[in-house]
Amino acid sequence: MNHLVDRDAVLFVALAAGLWASDAYFRPSLTHPLAASQIVLVEDALITLCFVPAIRRIWRELVRLSVRDWLALGAVALGAQAVATVLFTRSLSYAFPLNAAPNLSVENEVYLLYLLQPIFGVALARLVLGERRKPYFWFLAVFAVAGVYLIVFPQNPLAPLTSIQHGQLIAALLVLSAVFLWACGTVFGRYALSHVSFVTTGAMRFTLALPALLVVNLISRGSDGFPGFSPAQLPSFLGIALIPGLLAMLLYYRALSKTPASLATVAELAYPCTLFLLFSLPAPVGIGAPLQRVQIVGTVILVASVTALNLVKHRDVIRMPRHRALLMPSDEVA
């Protein structure tokens, strides 16, 4: 299994990102009774508890970390996990308001701006990790983004360009901030994986974020930040914590440890792709939205692009810095 993940690491990053989309099945029953900060806090706490059996192994790795390693893990936890997740969850409330029809202009903003994540990720990978992309990387990356664009906007590809100007600025800023922080999480997570295992990286993502989420919940909700929970919500919380949370993030970090960040940030486009494919399924899994032929074409384009990136990963699609041992594992194949 380890050999399989090492060989097809880019594909496993995409698979993990696809699992994140299962969040859409569990979250709707929680979004309107609870605030975004409340949902993310409980989700984070449940995942943190899952790492308790591995606490001795994790501690042995943590005592050897440098200040830079702690800063990288802190950026992943506070930025990508705590703040970004709350911001994105909050933005969805503008697109899908309670007791009202979906706001299509804001929904277009949410998913159009999400496509900027690879741009942020590639730029940060160059600045932080020293990765330099070769020409055919750009061709495959643009192809992948185009595929997801067709999936998200199948009926009228120009719709987001005409409606985004009428969308809500607050929702756009929330999504843009979340996307940037997630890109930071990919790059700094890749840096941290040079020195600690994927289990420790995943554990620190959720554990270090927990105090921050608690503070955010107290500031935003005050004494009202804790009432509102009920036993009936437990299955949904467990579903979010175990599938798009624990399982997906462990698989993601295991695959990311063998994937240059520039390739991983493109592979993560599997998240919006899977999300819209889930929407086409009948209730309660999806919403029964008809699957367009253009979306099938977009899916094929995305799968082909990510598969090609996985193949060329072993052909130096990424130029690594001369002293890459300081940034990446010694056995990394660019």
| Distance of alpha carbon 86 from alpha carbon 177, whole angstroms | 11
Which pLDDT value is given to residue 329?
41
* pTM metric for this prediction: 0.85
Check if the beta carbon of residue 184 is closer than 8 Å to that of residue 80: yes
pLDDT band at 216, cuts 50/70/90?
confident
Element (H, E) at 39: helix 36-50
Residues 247-269 have pLDDT tens digits of: 999 999 999 999 989 999 999 99
Position 23 pLDDT exceeds 80: yes
Q: Which amino acid is at 195?
A: H
In the prediction, which pLDDT does 334 show? 35
Give me the pLDDT at residue 89, please: 73
Please give the sequence-ordered ranges of beta strands (E in DSSP) within the chain, or none if there are none. 132-133, 318-319
Count of alpha carbons within 13 angstroms of residue 147, beta-carbon side: 27
- For 197-324, where are the E strands, in sequence order? 318-319
Q: Tokens at residue 234, please?
A: 């437990």
pLDDT at 325: 39
Q: What is the pLDDT of residue 185?
A: 94
**Could you tell me which residues are beta bridge partners of residue 318?**
133
What gap in Å lies between CA 160 and CA 170, rounded to an integer?
A: 17
Residue 32 predicted with pLDDT over 80: no
Give the residue carrying structure tokens 């990919």: 186
